[in-house]
Amino acid sequence: MKAACLIALSGALLWSRLAAADAGFPSFADPHLAKGRAIWLDTCKACHAAGFADAPPVHDKEAWRPRLAKGKKVLQQHALNGFFGPQSTMMPPRGGNGKLSDDEVKAAVDYMIAIVK
């Protein structure tokens, strides 16, 4: 009984932590960005939330400034086809999720642009 309570409690705590982590990323009324956010949370957040694998994290506006200067079209192409930057870090094609359509990858890029600029 006691153990079951503890498991339920830790599950609830974990869930609220996960929900809070997603809540930290802004939502938009625009349906294109809302779709992009769902895809971003699913595929891109793993690297771009905290800078895993040297990915530029979304809270680091300095890291994004030179990337944003390339323009949306170039960033979308780099997300679709993959990109090796000057430090030899790699953005895998489609974030490594081959199931995403071109439109889904572009929506995720647009969402990331909206929250880093």
**Of 96, 101, 102, 103, the one binding ligand HEC by CB under 6 A:** 96
Q: Which residue has the tokens 């949306």?
A: 72
CB of 9 to ligand HEC, least distance (A): 32
Q: Is residue 46 close enough to count as binding ligand HEC by CB under 6 A?
A: yes
**Which pairs count as long-range contacts for 57-63, CB under 8 Å and 24+ apart, including other chains?**
58/25, 58/112, 58/115, 58/116, 61/116, 61/117
* Number of residue whose CB is nearest ligand HEC: 85
CA atoms within a 13 Å half-sphere pointing along the CA-CB vector of 72? 12
Length in residues, the chain? 117
Q: Is residue 98 close enough to count as binding ligand HEC by CB under 6 A?
A: no
Residue 101: both structure tokens together? 């359509």
Q: Is residue 105 close enough to count as binding ligand HEC by CB under 6 A?
A: yes
Size of the site for ligand HEC (CB under 6 A): 29
Cβ proximity to ligand HEC: between 31 and 86 the closer is 86
CB of 43 to ligand HEC, least distance (A): 4
Cα separation values, 83 from 43, 55, 76, Å: 16, 11, 11
Q: Is residue 48 close enough to count as binding ligand HEC by CB under 6 A?
A: yes
Residue 89: both structure tokens together? 């870090």
Q: Are 90 and 78 in contact (CB under 8 A)?
A: no
Q: Where along the sequence are the contacts to ligand HEC (CB under 6 A)?
A: 43-44, 46-48, 53-56, 67, 70, 75, 78-79, 83-85, 87, 89-92, 94-96, 105, 108-109, 112
